[in-house]
Structure 1
Amino acid sequence: MARIAGVDLPRDKRIEIGLTYIYGIGLSRSQQILQKTGVSPDIRVKDLSDADVVKLRETVETDYEIEGDLRRLQRMNINRLMEIGCYRGRRHRVGLPVRGQRTRTNSRTRRAGKRTVAGKKKAPRK
């Protein structure tokens, strides 16, 4: 089993697709990595040699921001926006859509816990 950047790649998929299971690597970046290392994109993960796995691991971990480092970087960027109090930072803090979407309707996923039902009466207190 190939383990790159702390992620177990699925054995039965092509390496081109298997690399996309690493956070921060999509299909185009996966193709760049394979071209740089000289590994064929058609090989299945289970058929990789140890030398190929070592080449892929070194390239991925040295040349790209992935997994924990990338998550930390994104979290720091969002915290910076919230600290300076800009519009996008305030939207992040309140949990509303950040990129200009309408909120009168839609935006259900972003406002998940704030849903109310119109016309519902509360139970009377005793």
Structure 2
Amino acid sequence: MEDKDKIRHIVRIANTDLQGTQKVEYALTGIRGLGRRTAMVVAKAAKVDPGAVMGYLPDDAISRLKVQVEEKINDTLPVWMMNRQRDPFTGEDKHMISSDSLMTLRSDINFMKMIRCYRGIRHERGHRVRGQRTKSTGRKGSIVGVSRKKK
């Protein structure tokens, strides 16, 4: 019964509060940019059992996970698993997590608007961007993923 009292309900990694009651594999998916497969790779690289409950992990295991997620993720993941391959500005392959992924997405959309490419213009006008049909669908409500400027 003592072990039940020592659980950490919240574990903080990469400026994100993770649930301590979940398994490591699923708890790491709470970080933006990490899915289940990437979480498995990161947990194995940090030498942590992906099936263990996050709140019961010792301090050294959590610190290994922190280092793996925040600093060594680009060295751990294979190139085909990274979410930012061949960055248009630097040309390198990297994996973006948490607020970095949001800022990068926002800057990419602003860059498309600035150079006036087709996708940028569609973003500006609040139309669908990814080639969906618009003749008969999407006539009511807001479009998911594209926000309209308020006048």
TM-score by length of 1: 0.82
Determine which structure has more spread, i.e. the larger CA radius of gyration: 1
Alignment partners' CA distance in 1, 2:147 and 2:29: 32
Report the residue type matching 2:131 in the other structure.
G
> Once superposed, what is the RMSD of the aligned Cα atoms?
2.0
Report the residue type matching 1:58 in the other structure.
V
Bigger RCO of structures 1 and 2 (CA < 8 A, at least 6 apart): 1
Count of residue correspondences: 114
Residue 7 of structure 1: how far off its partner (Å): 1.0
Is the aligned partner of 1:10 residue 2:19?
yes
Runs of 4+ in structure 1 over 3 Å off: 111-114
Equivalence for 2:105: 74
| CA 32–113 in structure 1, closer or farther in 2 if over 3 Å, else same | closer
Query: When you count helix as a share of all residues, which structure comes out higher?
Result: 1
Equivalence for 1:124: none
Equivalence for 2:80: none
Which residue of the other structure, out of 129, 132, 141, is the alignment partner of 1:101? 132
- 5+ residue gaps, structure 1, are 115-126
Equivalence for 1:23: 32
What pairs with 1:80-95 in structure 2 (closer than 5 Å)? 80-95=111-126
Q: Percent identity?
A: 32
